[in-house]
Amino acid sequence: MAYYVLEVESKEELLTIVQQAQEVEAPIKWLHSSELDLIDPDGIVTRIRLKR
């Protein structure tokens, strides 16, 4: 399984990504209020989190 980690600078960027993922019906799994996993159709997981 492939796994990637991306960090964003702001909560607004994170929420924009969530909105775009919802528009294409990508599965989203929130891990914390500042971290989530997106899973593409091939099962590749991308973890996106707020940069600390």
CATH hierarchy code of domain 3-50? 3.10.180.10
Beta bridge partners of 38: 28, 46
pTM score of the predicted model: 0.84
Residues 6+ apart with CB under 8 A from 20: none
Q: Where are the domains of the chain?
A: 3-50
Q: Tens-digit pLDDT profile for the chain (52 aa)?
A: 678 999 999 999 999 999 999 999 999 999 999 999 999 888 899 999 999 8
